[in-house]
Structure 1
């Protein structure tokens, strides 16, 4: 497939997430990205003044696409129980390689680490809110949200020798063990 003649900022960010998923943080050099896009460094610099600016934009793009968008879509459900179920399904549809790559990138870049920390807090707070809405006490809701989120991140980070599908299956099994309200 021939790349578009003019790459937009969104194209560079989508390319960055794909590169991160396939090759990890080492694939996010300006040279590697330009080679992958079939573009010159000038095209890259037209959108980002430096690699650091690109990495910050990439992490924010990940936050918006993999956290805020999911919360907004889940909020379209009526009851909190239905929103929890919808959120679980959306979480299982995410490309775990991008989550893994973003966390490895956070180990190398302080700005990305700050965004990852914010994402972790946003996700846990959102889950705790939903668990609270289904009738759990605040401390129980927060504890359950932390455990659920730790499992989500943990399944992605552990090298269990499992395929991506096997990881999803393990997480799906874990989710069935959690007490969930019935779907409406």
Structure 2
């Protein structure tokens, strides 16, 4: 008889975030996730006191992976212009090249949910502040840097929505590179 792998809280968290991305907040339910993981509800209760604790863990994972880890990756670039270009290149990708952050769309649609609201607001603020900082580091004064940071983030939100609902409309290959170049040129024009 094969020995069953012992699941961790991280396994449950990843599965919850996947469920959230695929089916919305209602999909973060203990029994279906247990089936997905090939285990019982007992495993869940070993790691979490209730569904809300699992949802909170999934939200924090989303924040860490899709915001803080991306920022760390971008910060490895040597100068502000390279960081801005890399960020836009990464975030304005085609779904075939980079999976769409479907969790973000779900969370945006549920931004008033008591568990989602503080995380979504914090992530939104962090992302806009980070992008604004890139423009400031590239030499833009505070007000124009702020406006450009906001514009870049709202363009990203529109891109994610379009990539999720109509991926065939999102440029890819050489057209995507030209698109990213034009976005960078538009946002960095004096």
- Normalised by the length of structure 2, the TM-score is 0.81
Q: 1:116 — aligned with what? A: 120
Runs of 5+ unmatched residues, structure 1: none
Between Structure 1 and Structure 2, whose CA radius of gyration is higher?
Answer: 2
Distance in 1 (alpha carbons) for counterparts of 2:72 and 2:56? 22
8 Å contact from structure 1 (residues 24, 104) kept in 2: no
Distance in 1 (alpha carbons) for counterparts of 2:166 and 2:72? 31
Alignment of 1:176 with 2:182, yes or no, is yes
8 Å contact from structure 1 (residues 66, 94) kept in 2: no
Please show how residues 65-76 of structure 1 align to structure 2 within 5 Å. Answer: 65-76=65-76
Distance in 1 (alpha carbons) for counterparts of 2:181 and 2:28? 33
Q: 1:154 — aligned with what? A: 158
SS at match of 2:115: helix
Q: Deviations over 1:25-52 (max 9, x none)?
A: 2211111111211111111111111111
Number of matched pairs: 177
Q: 1:96 — aligned with what? A: 101
Give the 3 Å change call, closer, same or farther, for CA 159–68 of structure 1 in structure 2. Answer: closer
- Normalised by the length of structure 1, the TM-score is 0.83
Q: CA RMSD in A?
A: 2.6
Q: Deviations over 1:60-93 (max 9, x none)?
A: 1100000001111111111011111122233233
8 Å contact from structure 1 (residues 70, 90) kept in 2: no
